Every structure is written in C-alpha cells, then in structure tokens.
Chains A and B, each alone.
Chain A
Amino acid sequence: MSGNTVTLTDNNFDSFIEGNPLVLVDCWAQWCKPCHMLTPILDELADEMAGKVAIGKLNVDENPGISYRFNISAIPTMLVFKNGVMQEPLVGVRPKEDIKKYLQSKM
C-alpha cells in the first residue's frame, strides 16, 4: 500500500471526508479478486496526485456501517467526495487514466 493511501473505518470515515477537499474511497474486500487489480492503480494515483486528492481504502466486510449508508451493492466501488458532497461513484475496475481524468474533472 502506498504511504499516501489511508486506511478508513466506520470511525474515521467522516473526518477523512470533511478534512480533504477531494476524496476517493476505494470500497473493497479481501476475497474480491477484481479489488486487488485496483490496488496498485490507486497506490500510483495516491502518489501522483498527492496534495490534490486524498485516497482512502475501506474494507466493506469490517466496516458495514459505511457500506450500508452509501448503499454499496458491488465492489470495487470508488466513492468520490468533493467538499464533503458525494459525486457519481465509479463502479468496477477502471483503467488508471479513466480514474485520473474523472478526478481531474472534479478539481
């Protein structure tokens, strides 16, 4: 995991969203194989976009509260928040450039 990626839980989720202007939260689970495909991509983006986008990872198995609150029914799902307001989420594994472009469009 990149040093710029933050592990989120039901407890620190809200403060992370509130404390950063642009946030991407990767909702994942250990047994979800496509989720592991996304990990290196998000690690790279966390490094490349450090200071502009805060990237967090939320294990949906260990943190059911947030999954329930945001109606997550597929993983990986990337929740995106701009100034605390939820944007259209990205569902499924996406190429790095697509995720980057989407985040840039929110800056």
Chain B
Amino acid sequence: MTVKEKNTPQAGSIFQPTIGKIVAAKMLTAKEKYFRVVLEGGKPLGQKPGQFVEISVFGAGEAPISICSSPTQEDSFEMCVRNVGSVTNLMHQMEAGATLGMRGPYGNGFDMEAMKGHDVLFVAGGLGLAPARGVIKYVLDKRRDYGDVTILYGARNPSELLFKEDLSEWEARPDCAFHITVDRPDDAWKGNKGVITTLFRHVKVDPSKTYAVIIGPPVMYKYAILEALSMGIPESRILCSLERRMKCGVGKCGHCQIGNVYVCKEGPVFSYAQIKRLREGI
C-alpha cells in the first residue's frame, strides 16, 4: 500500500480565508492605496481597533495588513496598503469589484474599555497612521466616552501624507487637537517642519489621566516613547503597536515571535511597560 499524499481535514481549519469584495479603491499617495472591503454575505468583520487581518491574493499568498477603519463602521472594513511585496503589489493592481481572501481579525487590539474616560494622545508616524486611524475614528465616533483627544501626525514629506480628508476633518473639529509635521517640506508647505517629536512642544497633557497611542516605524518609537515618558505618562498607559512579519496570525508559525511572546496573539498592541521587557521588541 503506497500513500504518498493524503487528503487532510482542512475545511473549517484556521487557515481557511473568507472571501471579500473590494467595493472602493483609490491611490492615497504614489505608494499607498486605500481599499474598502465587504465580506461574503455582508457580515461585519467585528474587529477591535488595532487588530489586523491576513489578506490573501490567490497566487501570491498572504500578507498581514492593519485595519484602518473603526468597528463602528460595520458594513465594511478599510485598509491602507503600501506597495512593497508580491501580495501588496498585486493588491495595487486591484480595483473595486475584485475579490480577495481574508483571515482574521487577529491580535489583541487596543483595550478601548480601559481607555474610556481618559484623555488620548495619538502619535502616528508614516504608515502608522493606518492602524492609528481605526482607533482615532473609534474614539471620535464615541467621543463622549473619552476625554481630551490630541492627534500628532508626521510624514517624511507632504506628498506622503495619508488620508488628507480625515486630516482636514480632524484639523477642523473643535473637539480634538491636531498637529502635523513633515521632515522635508516642499515650497508650498506652511506647517511644522521636523520629525514628529518636534510636535510634542505644542502639546500639554494631564499625565494622570492620559493614554498615549504611538504607532510608527521602529525608529520613531524610541524617541516618541521618551517624549511621552518625559510628559509623565505612566509606562502602562503608553501603548504601541509593533510591526512584525506575521504569517499565520494564530501563534504557531514563529515568524512574529519576540521573546516568549507571539506578537500576532498577545500583540501587536503592547504597553511600554511590556515592551521594556521584550528584547528585540523595537
């Protein structure tokens, strides 16, 4: 009896994606594209702000992508995808009407309940605005549940600014403070110039009731966390979302492991108190 290949019980397995349809797609910058996706049967994704999904482009594979919409928007979810790999490259060729696969939502997300009643200081750098946007939109949709809201956003140059409509809205809203900076301004830029930490001088927070939500490239964390600490915000209320190369999303494949932590399961959101103990974390 020779059995070289066997059929296996994959139906309903943790690796089976759900099919979704792209209902809106547009370029946000030269490198980042926005997608709105409706899942098969119109079911809500049911995510927590800060969670991520594994997106399938059949033929190219899967990539972990942050959700940039708020769960208060139930009929669809949104992503902002940079064109950097084989999956994201093919995603960039997709327009409304195209189908893709989705597994998730995965990760812990932000504890929005614990943050209730507190002031929130958002610090988003570069593509970090994508996951941060989901949290910001949630807080603004449930505005009365939260105290003062301050948003700091930094990009390399004006052409890399994401979600310009949202930025204008946040700027205009009387119930949140918004500060923006670019490292390398062009001639038309009138705003702040410099890295994101230069924005902290515009901000005053009450550290006894503030959560800092910091999301950006690894290099930004080191400096932004120092700023938050120097404001007196306690380590347990400085929250960061770590980028890792999550493959399975369910704490098995090993790619996102740092120390005894699977970032895909116990993260990607960690407090600085936790990150401090996680070597290789940032």
> Does B bind A?
no
Residues of A within 8 A of B (CB): none
